[in-house]
Amino acid sequence: MKLVKTKEGISYLWPFILVTSLFFLWGFAHSILDVLNKHFQEVLVISKARSALVQAVVYGGYFLMALPAGAFIKRYGYRKGVILGLLLYAVGAFMFIPGSKMMSFEFFLVSLFIIGCGLTCLETAANPYVTVLGEPEYGAGRLNLAQSFNGLGWIMGPLVGGLIFFDGGDISVPYIIVGCLVVFVAIFFMRIRLPEVKEELPDETEGAEKSLWSYTHFTWGVVALFCYVAAQTGINSFFINYVTEANLGFTNSDAAMLLSFGGMGLFMFGRFLGSWLMNRLPAERLLIWFSVGALLCMFLVIFGLGWLSITALFICYLFESIMFPTIFALSIRKLGGHTKKASSFLIMSIVGGAVAPVLMGYIGEHNMAIGFIIPLICFFVIAGYSVMYRRMSRR
């Protein structure tokens, strides 16, 4: 498999498979938040803007933990970074046990913040590690392939959450299950050894280390990734609200199932499709096509045209599927020894997911469709970045 071989023909297939298994775990952790958001609105009787704090604290954890996680990984390596992330994830998940007894929104926020810190460590380690496990030109394709399994987690989150939360089940059950799974995976990683891939500084530095922020494709990549996560999180957070407010007869449980199998199913398919297409087309060209497609979908969503807008909302998941791994891989391309530090800043930009849901909640408190202007703006920025990168790559 050429995606995970070096120029010398060394296979990184086994390390790639192990690290890819982590992508499912954080996909599940993120996607179940979208059901939790709506559940808290009804059970705890809070506004859309206040319920959006569910996403805000998780993605706020990314902002606060990204640089410490990067420093930890730079000193101790990718494997120990993964282990730290898994342990923090488990602690936050098990805190839902007392949380389900207290039913305190603030306590749940603390638990989710700890989970967010754990996810930060996992993503700071796993995303760049996958991109350097082989030849650089296939980095975006490798990350899209790994992120495809992240899409499986995105499918399972709304499915499990919808079945349990909206049917009166114990809110701690899915977190107990995933907490036990995370502990098992952490023990497994403690007992194995992953190859540490050493990145060299770029040739153009000529002995003097060039500033990370002087790389235009990285600097604007941080902005584009901030916008992508903002758009993705905002859409996911209020998908159920949008569908139920469309007056097409959908209940909360129906909307959660639609999100799981419809939206997230297309999201997962898009990532597999993207990884296949990137063996044949430049990643930056594909990013242009997909970002323009997402823009058009958001226009239809905002106008609230019944089934047409619902369909556009589904198709948007297909178009946004490749954006995170592609922007990430393009942003750290040819950064060499700066890769781990750059990864920290890129993961830090995930804080966009803390901003968009709150803004959308305020704007769409009485008409959810209007709130989707935030993802529209974000996709416009991503389209601009992809065009800029394409022009730079031609030069």
CA dihedral (207, 212, 215, 218) positive or negative: positive
pLDDT value of position 264 = 82
pLDDT value of position 59 = 85
pLDDT value of position 137 = 67
- Tokens 């701690």: give the residue: 172
pTM, 2 dp:
0.74
pLDDT tens per residue, the chain (395 residues)? Answer: 454 555 454 567 777 787 888 888 878 887 787 778 777 888 887 887 788 788 889 888 888 998 898 889 888 888 888 899 999 999 999 999 999 898 888 999 999 999 999 999 988 888 777 877 777 667 767 777 787 777 788 788 777 877 777 677 678 888 898 899 889 988 888 887 766 655 544 444 443 467 888 888 899 999 999 999 999 989 988 898 899 888 888 888 888 888 888 888 898 898 888 888 887 888 889 999 999 999 999 999 999 888 999 999 999 999 998 998 899 888 988 787 777 788 888 888 988 888 888 899 889 888 889 999 999 999 999 999 999 988 877 76
Q: What CA–CA distance (Å, rounded) separates 231 from 237? A: 10
The three-class DSSP label of residue 135 is: coil
Indicate the length of the chain as a whole number: 395
pLDDT value of position 5 = 52
The three-class DSSP label of residue 5 is: strand
Please give the structure tokens belonging to residue 376: 């529209």
One DSSP character per residue, 11-65 reads: B-HHHHHHHHHHHHHHHHHHHHHHHHHHHHHHHTT--HHHHTHHHHHHHHHHHHH
Q: Tell me the β-bridge partners of 5.
A: 11
pLDDT value of position 45 = 79
pLDDT value of position 204 = 44
Q: Among 223, 224, 227, 256, which Cα is nearest to 353's?
A: 227
